[in-house]
Structure 1
Amino acid sequence: MIKTLPSSTTSQISSELAKAHTERGEASQGRVLTLLVKTTEKELEEVLANAIYASQEHPSRIIAIVTDRAEAPDMETLPSVAVGTVAPLDAEIRLGSDGGAGEVIVLRPSEGLLRHLDTLVIPLLVPDAPVVAWWSNLVPASPSTSLLGRMARSRITDAQNTDSPMDTFLALREHHTIEETDLSWTRLTVWRGLLAALIDEPPHSAIKSVTVRGSNHALSVDLLAAWLAWALNVPVEIEIDENVSAVRGVVFHREDGDSIIERPSDASSDLFITKPGQHKQTISVPHRTLGDCMTEELRRLDPDEIYNAVLTEGWDMISHNHWNK
């Protein structure tokens, strides 16, 4: 069910939401969190589909703020509008199959209201539930000081989805706080688990260095290399493969030979594992979707100490010069 509320107010939205719950015999209690999403009209439906997917495990009130009515690229940094300025708000309420395991509120504020996102959103938050903020593509340099970020216990960005992934990521790193993570790191969860298992398996000969193979412009490649450099304290080199879009594989250069784990192509769901003196193994590892990554992040709202260490220590242990080529 989708109910459209043109030229509305937060009070009217709350009232209509309560009325809809009553008509459907539902209760708004039981929502484990409020997920704030800042996005564009073009990406709205895809973003909501993934947020709703994640809400199946984490029943949430999803509040999506669509920014297309504003002409300025970063409305959160602009001065406030004068008191009394008319600032219309168009909204939607989505419930049932359109709202996942919770409900979806879509807000399309005018330019004036974009300067007051905190006062716009606060009345719509689920009481006594944590707030998570997700920027799907419009990533502020400092999420913790942005209007949405100040309300959130956990802040999720996706620098890879922006026009300039590395520039965005470097700005995020400069202003990083422990409550923040980026989906470029979340996409590595399976890789990190497999690599940790590979390191622990015999043979246990010393690792002299590591080569990470992957795309020229995928932040996950750099983050994986930084994690390995930090965790193993050995030289890590990035080898570019222009035929893939993410991580292709990892080679552990050991004293008795190379241990290799790699995906033959972007299209393949298989990984091949090769160890000295052993036959090649094949394991099925499906690609992670955006919904999978969001589900993981909503499952873990506590700070990610490893990610923090990779940013503060591991990142400077490797070269990122390939981004300039």
Structure 2
Amino acid sequence: MIVDLPTTTVSNVSKALVRIREDGGAVALGRVLTLVISTSPERLEEAVEAANDASREHPMRVVVVSSDQSARDIVEARLDAQIRVGGDAGASEVIILRAFGAAASDSESLVTGLLLPDAPVVVWWAGIWPGHAAHSTLGRIAQRRITDATTHPDPQQALRELAANYTPGDTDLAWSRITLWRAQLATVLDQPPYEKVTDVEVSGSVESPSTTLLAAWLTQQLDVRVTHTLHPRKQGGWGIDRVQLQRESGTTELRRTHDALAQLSIPNQPLHDLALTRRSLRDCLAEELRHLDPDELYGRVITHGVAMLLGDDA
């Protein structure tokens, strides 16, 4: 069910939620958190779809704040809202707030009255985020703050900014995208031959912050020199291409061959074809929603690993 509330107020939205609950039996019981999404009109439906899919694992209330930054000073202040429940909202209830003019200037006041009581708050910027997420109007009310460096015009510079402004509770979807790579590499190193890694090379697209985060993670975990090679997108696929580990017995290589497949080469062993799918936005979001405490490993990688890899200016 979808209920449109044009030219409304947050108070009216809250009252409409109560009426829907009473009339249709849609309840907030069992919701485990409130997910606040800050996005642009262009990214709104993609973000809502990902949240709806993730809600099947994490029943939640989703509050979406969408504002057109370019129209803040020229459009009369107005708030349009939409409530989606039932089949139109997955296992969540979705409240979409479209703010115009001065109404878009204070996101915190728009969402405060719509948060579930006594439930954790997670904020996801599905697009460009404020420079210091934890100190922003939405970041101050959240236990967890999710960004996505891939949406930044310069993803590599985005990592430097995230490193400089990191606060416990921050995370980035570029980190979630390398979960399967990290798991596979850890499995490789946990099998014979048990030899020290002496050199590492990580290759991927310059538009892939995940490539840099994987290299930074390996820098920290293995305490070796990591060569970090980034190519223009037109010269290869988007994302991580391959990882090479040098050991006494030779080169171990994990290389992507397809969007869903990779090939593992280990000295003196036959080639192995592995499932290594590119993770969807839904999968990455659902993973981050499993962890409401600060991700300490991400914190070390973004603050120390990225600095070691990219230099002191990170």
Which TM-score applies when normalising by structure 1? 0.90
- 1:85-124 to structure 2, matched below 5 A, reads 87-124=77-114
The corresponding residue for 2:268 is 277
Matched residues in 2 for 1:192 and 1:315: separation?
A: 16
Answer whether contact 2:71 2:100 (CA < 8 A) is retained: no
- 1:241-260 to structure 2, matched below 5 A, reads 241=231, 242-260=235-253
Matched residues in 1 for 2:306 and 2:157: separation?
A: 14
Structure 1 regions of 5+ residues with no counterpart?
76-85, 321-325
- 1:1-325 to structure 2, matched below 5 A, reads 1-68=1-68, 70-71=70-71, 87-241=77-231, 242-264=235-257, 267-319=258-310
Q: C-alpha deviations, 1:122-170, integer Å up to 9, x for none?
A: 1100111000000011211101111111010000001211223233332
Structure 2 regions of 5+ residues with no counterpart?
none
Matched residues in 1 for 2:237 and 2:211: separation?
A: 11
Answer whether contact 2:156 2:206 (CA < 8 A) is retained: no
Answer whether contact 2:262 2:273 (CA < 8 A) is retained: yes
Answer whether contact 2:205 2:239 (CA < 8 A) is retained: yes
Alpha-carbon deviation of 1:39? 0.5
Answer whether contact 1:249 1:261 (CA < 8 A) is retained: yes
Matched residues in 1 for 2:60 and 2:124: separation?
A: 13
Runs of 4 or more, structure 1, over 4 Å off, are none
What letter matches 2:280 in structure 1? T
What letter matches 1:256 in structure 2? S
SS at match of 2:283: helix
Alpha-carbon deviation of 1:69? 6.1
Alpha-carbon RMSD: 1.6
Matched residues in 2 for 1:223 and 1:217: separation?
A: 12
Q: C-alpha deviations, 1:45-92, integer Å up to 9, x for none?
A: 1110001111111011100101116536xx9xxxxxxxxxx7321100
Matched residues in 1 for 2:189 and 2:215: separation?
A: 15
Corresponding residue pairs, total: 306
SS at match of 2:71: coil
Which TM-score applies when normalising by structure 2? 0.93
Matched residues in 2 for 1:99 and 1:40: separation?
A: 19
Matched residues in 1 for 2:296 and 2:281: separation?
A: 22
Answer whether contact 2:65 2:96 (CA < 8 A) is retained: yes
Alpha-carbon deviation of 1:305? 0.9
Identity among equivalent positions (%) equals: 39
Alpha-carbon deviation of 1:175? 1.0
SS at match of 1:220: helix
Matched residues in 2 for 1:187 and 1:148: separation?
A: 24
